[in-house]
Structure 1
Amino acid sequence: MSDQVDQLFPTTVVGAGAWGTALAIAIARNGHDVLLWGRDAEQLTGMQQTHSNERYLPGLEFPDTLKIVTDFEQAIKAAKHVLISVPSIAFSDILKMIKPLITEGIPVSWATKGLTPETGCFLYDTAATILGDSHPLAVISGPSFAAEVAKDLPTAITVASRDDVFSQNIASAMHRPTLRVYTSRDVLGVQIGGTVKNVLAISAGIADGLGYGANARAALITRGMAEILRLAASLGAQTETMFGLSGIGDLILTCTDDQSRNRQLGLAIGRGLSVEQAVAEVGKTVEGMHAAREVMMQARQAGIEMPIVEQVCKILFEGYDPRESVQALLCREQKAETTDPAPKLKN
C-alpha cells in the first residue's frame, strides 16, 4: 500500500446504519484502521459490546481494525479521512457539525445518494459550500446493497472526485477481490444516476405491486433511463457515466431487487397501502421519497420533461391514485423513441 493511501487512515465513518457499517467493514477488512460513529449512543454501546451491528447487519462480526467511537469530536479530530453515510436529509447538518472540528485539508467523501432538501442542490456543491475549498471531496456510488458488501459478496462501485489523487487513493484503499472500485471525474453524472434511480425504483415497485408484470417494469426502467439521460445532458454531465455503474447499473439493481427500500415502498403503495402506511412498513429511510421533489425542481429549472418522476411525485405528495398515474403515462402523446436521425447505412 502506498504512503498516499496510508495517509487516509484512520478513516472515520460517520453514520452507523447498514451502509455506513458495511463500508466500514469493507475498508477494515483490508487491514486499515477505521473508526465508526453514529447518532444513537445506545446502539453504539451495544456495538462495542457485541463487536457487530445487530440492528442492521446481524451476525456479522467486525474486523479487528474497526473500532466504535461514541464521542463525535474525538472521531472527527482523529480522522485522516471522513466518510459520511447518513440520509440526505441529515447531510447538511452533519457537515456543519464536522466543519469546526475537522483538520484543514483532511479529505471528505460520502456514500449518501440524493439532493439537498428544499434547495435541490447536489451534495457535492453543498459540501463545497459548507466545508470550503481546502478539503478534497469525493462521491461513492454504484449498484451495491449494504448486506452483500458486508458479507463480502462480489460488488463493483465508483468513486468520483475532481481530485484524481484522492479518488484513486480511496479506490486503492477499498479495492479487494470481492470489491472492485472504479474512479471517475464526472462528479455530476455520478450524483445524477445515484439520485434519480431511487425515484424510478419507486415507480417500478408500484407497477409490480399493481401486478402489471415484467413488460411494464422493463418499460419503466428503459424510459426512466431516458429521463436520467435527459437530465444529465441538460446539466452537462457525461452520457458515458449514465451507462456505467452509478447510472444504469444502480438503476437496474434498485428497480428489480426487493432489498431496495425504494422498490419496497413502491410495492407497498401498489398493493394498496397509503403512502404513510407504506413508509411505516418499510421502516427505514427511503431516499427516493426525499429526492423526488428535488429532482422535479432540477427538471423544471432545466426545462425538460421527466414524466415518470412527475407521476411518482403526484402519488407521493398529491394523493394521486397509482393506477391513474400509470394511465397518464400510457396516454401521453405518441412520439418517436429517440430524436436522433436514423444512421446512414454504408454500401
Structure 2
Amino acid sequence: MIGVLGAGAFGTALAITLAQTGRLVCLWGRDKDMMERIAAFRTSPRLPGVTLPDSIAPTGDAAMLADCETLILAVPMQQLAAALADLALSPRHAVAACKGVDLITLHGPTAIIECALPMAQASILSGPSFAADIARGLPTALSLGCADDAVGVTLQDQLSTATLRIYRTTDVVGVELGGALKNVIAIACGAAIGAGLGDSARAALMTRGMAEMLRLATAMGARPETLMGLSGLGDLALTCASPQSRNFALGHAIGAGKDAPTALSEGAATAQAALALANDRGVDLPITRVTAALVKGDLTVKDAMRDLLDRDLTKE
C-alpha cells in the first residue's frame, strides 16, 4: 500500500492516478471531518468533478499510514517539518511532493525528511504538473530525485502509471531547487502580465530567471542539465505561462493591484529563503530580490522594472 500525506489538490491527484493502477492508496488529511466526507461521497472539494477510485482509502487517522512502505509527502513546504514531527511514521521510502526551501532551516524537503525520518530513504518528485491534469488522467512527466539510483529505479517503477511518466536522477539538489526557484520567477512573470508589461517582458523574465536558477543551483552543487530538464525548465515554462499556477496568480494580482488569492503560493516564502542562500554564497539574484520585495509590499511593479532595467549593462 502506498500512502499520501496531505489531501490537498496535488496529493489527492497523485492518489487518484496511483490508485488507477489497482493498488490500494491511503490518503491522509488533517481535517478528520473533511476526510470522512471524502470517504463517503468519493469526491474532494480540492478537485471538483473528479471521482475518487474505490481503491483510495481517505482517512484522518495517521495510524492508517503505518503499513505504507512508500509515503508521498504532499504537504506545503513550510509545514513539512511540523507535520513529520507531529506524526509517528516509519516508512521505508519517503517521497517529497512539495516545492520550496524551509524559511527556518534553509533546507530543502529531503533534508527535512532525513532529519525527521532518519531510517527512511528520502527522495523528491517534481516537475511541470497541475493537479487537475493529473487527476483527469492527462499525460504528465515528472522528475524523481533520489541519491540511491537503485532505490530510484524501484520508486520509478512504483510511481509511474499509464499517464504519469517518471524520469529519475541522482541529482536531488537540482530537482529540489528547480521546483523551488521557478515559483519565484512565476510570481515575477505574473506581476509583469498583471501590470500590462506584455509578453516580451515575461519572456525576458523567464530567460533571465532561468539564469538565476542555474547560478544558485550550481553554486549549491546541482548539475546544470537537471535544471534544463523537467524539474527546472519544464516547470518554469508551465508556471510562468498559465493562470492555473498559484504563483503566477499571486504575481498577477500584485501587478494588477488586486487582493492576493487565498490559495497558498510556495514562491512567496521561497523568494526570501533563496535570497538568504544566495547571500551566503555570493550569488546575484536580481529578479528574485525584487520579487521578494514585491511580495512583501516593499516595492511596486513599476519600481521593480526600473530596478531591473537600470542595472549596468553586461554580457549574456
What TM-score comes out, normalization by structure 2 length? 0.97
Aligned to 1:251: 236
Cα deviation 1:134-181 (Å, max 9, x = unaligned):
211110000000000000001100111112232222221222332111
Mapped partners of 2:55, 2:66: distance in 1: 18
Q: 1:119 to 1:183 in 2, by over 3 A?
A: same
Aligned to 1:60: 50
Aligned to 2:243, the other structure's residue is in SS state: coil
Aligned to 1:302: 281
In the alignment, does 2:82 pair up with 1:93?
A: yes
Deviation at 1:110, TM superposition (A): 1.3
1:51-130 equivalences in 2 (<5 Å) = 51-53=42-44, 55-72=45-62, 74-98=63-87, 101-103=88-90, 106-130=92-116
Aligned to 2:21, the other structure's residue is in SS state: coil
Contact 1:25 1:62 (8 Å CA) reproduced: yes
Aligned to 2:300: 321
Aligned to 2:154: 169
Aligned to 1:345: none
Cα deviation 1:225-266 (Å, max 9, x = unaligned):
000010112111100001000010000101001100000001
Mapped partners of 1:111, 1:23: distance in 2: 9
Aligned to 1:179: 164
1:239-318 equivalences in 2 (<5 Å) = 239-273=224-258, 277-278=259-260, 282-318=261-297
Contact 1:26 1:152 (8 Å CA) reproduced: yes
Deviation at 1:18, TM superposition (A): 0.1
Contact 1:138 1:166 (8 Å CA) reproduced: no
Moved more, 173-182 or 256-265: 173-182
- Structure 1: 4+ residue segments shifted above 3 A: none
Contact 1:201 1:263 (8 Å CA) reproduced: yes
- Residue type at the aligned position of 1:12: G
Contact 1:137 1:163 (8 Å CA) reproduced: no
Deviation at 1:318, TM superposition (A): 4.7
Which of 14, 19, 36 is equivalent to 1:23?
14
Contact 1:88 1:117 (8 Å CA) reproduced: no
Aligned to 1:201, the other structure's residue is in SS state: helix
Seq. identity, % = 37
Q: 1:300 to 1:248 in 2, by over 3 A?
A: same
Aligned to 2:99, the other structure's residue is in SS state: coil
Contact 2:96 2:123 (8 Å CA) reproduced: yes
Deviation at 1:57, TM superposition (A): 0.6
Aligned to 2:162, the other structure's residue is in SS state: coil
What TM-score comes out, normalization by structure 1 length? 0.89
In the alignment, does 2:310 pair up with 1:331?
A: yes
Contact 2:26 2:65 (8 Å CA) reproduced: no
- Residue type at the aligned position of 2:264: T
Contact 1:162 1:185 (8 Å CA) reproduced: yes
Aligned to 2:48, the other structure's residue is in SS state: strand
Moved more, 173-182 or 79-88: 173-182
Mapped partners of 2:159, 2:74: distance in 1: 15
Deviation at 1:302, TM superposition (A): 1.0
Q: 1:12 to 1:176 in 2, by over 3 A?
A: closer
Contact 1:139 1:187 (8 Å CA) reproduced: yes
Mapped partners of 2:183, 2:109: distance in 1: 15
**Matched positions, count:** 316
CA RMSD, Structure 1 to Structure 2 (Å) = 1.2
- Structure 2 unmatched ranges of 5 or more: none
